[in-house]
Amino acid sequence: MGRTSKDKRDVYYRLAKENGWRARSAFKLLQLDEEFHLFQGVTRAVDLCAAPGSWSQVLSQKIGVQGSGHVVAVDLQAMAPLPGVLQIQGDITQLSTAKEIIQHFEGCPADLVVCDGAPDVTGLHDVDEYMQAQLLLAALNIATHVLKPGGCFVAKIFRGRDVTLIYSQLRVFFSSVLCAKPRSSRNSSIEAFAVCQGYDPPEGFLPDLTKPLLDHSYDPDFNQLDGPTRIIVPFVTCGDLSAYDSDRSYPLDLEDGSEYKYTPPTQPPISPPYQEACTLKKKGRLAKEIRPQDCPISTVDTLSQ
Ligand code: SAM
């Protein structure tokens, strides 16, 4: 497969490189903003699960470049520096990370918290959806510590079986909750974004990161409730309808007639978790580790000689 094939298959991947974005996800945030004007009046923003940093790039360009806005980016992975973005390498499920964010804002609350977090996908849909939901709830939990009343929270959501339970949870904290699908998010993916506006926690609510917002002992049938307890949120597609379709392949010839030229990625990830596997694969050494306890006795004897 040539290096141009991904450019053909994924127009947003190609455009991201040509426009200097670190990842194609930048277009998702830009298209969400087209619909919801997320950055209006925002001076403090938190980007949770930020690496390699395309959402932080968007945030820094939209609110941080003049030096008046503040952007804090958090990820488990290291991220190349970005002007106007303060980085925390940490886990969003940890209290210590929330404390660090609060410290960086010197006690001032944020206007906007975004989270494009994704766990490592296993391919087991139920497990993946569960993990995604937990990550979203961890993001919401941190948001309850740092968001100003009336503030906005945007987070990646998987529209799986239990999604109405998440909407119910979000509606406890926000006056408006919508599910949005930007044009740059593939139709074939269950990915969408919860856009939650008007942060308004219940009276007497005290943010507490030691407690998960979703009670693990909940009755699985809760989600099946109907009537007034079942929350159905509006679904909005966003991005100009004339924008590129993320499920289509486009020819490499540019519309303005200029010749296609391959553009390398803007900023390859710093030590991504898959790097070791790639190196081992190149050397033909990507074999499963053989542990003595997996081997029959006779093989163990042979191996240890
Ligand atoms: N929005 C990013 C961008 O535009 O470049 C892309 C985010 S990427 C899809 C998902 C990120 O979630 C990964 O970098 C991963 O390390 C991060 N992540 C997953 N679980 C996390 C956790 N518990 N704490 C912090 N980051 C996490």
% of the chain surpassing 70 pLDDT: 83
More confident residue, 59 or 122: 59
Ligand 1, residues 58, 76, 92, 142: which to mutate, most atoms within 8 A of Cβ? 76
Alpha carbon distance 12, 102 (integer Å): 34
Q: Omega of the bond prior to 220 within 30 degrees of 0, cis?
A: no
% of the chain surpassing 90 pLDDT: 44
- Predicted confidence (pLDDT) at residue 228 exceeds the cutoff of 80: no
Catalytically active residues are: 156
| Lowest mean pLDDT, pick from 63-67, 194-198, 217-221, 274-278 | 217-221
What ipTM was predicted for this assembly?
A: 0.99
Q: pLDDT tens digits, residue range 65-110?
A: 665 679 999 999 999 999 889 999 999 988 889 889 988 888 899 9
The alpha helices in the chain, defined as continuous H runs, are: 5-9, 11-18, 26-36, 54-59, 95-104, 125-146, 163-173, 275-282, 297-303
Mean pLDDT of the 46-65 span:
93
Within 6 A (CB) of ligand 1 lie 22-23, 25-26, 49-55, 74-77, 91-93, 116-119, 135
- Predicted confidence (pLDDT) at residue 298 exceeds the cutoff of 80: no
- Predicted confidence (pLDDT) at residue 146 exceeds the cutoff of 60: yes
Mean pLDDT across the chain: 83
Mean pLDDT of the 279-292 span:
74
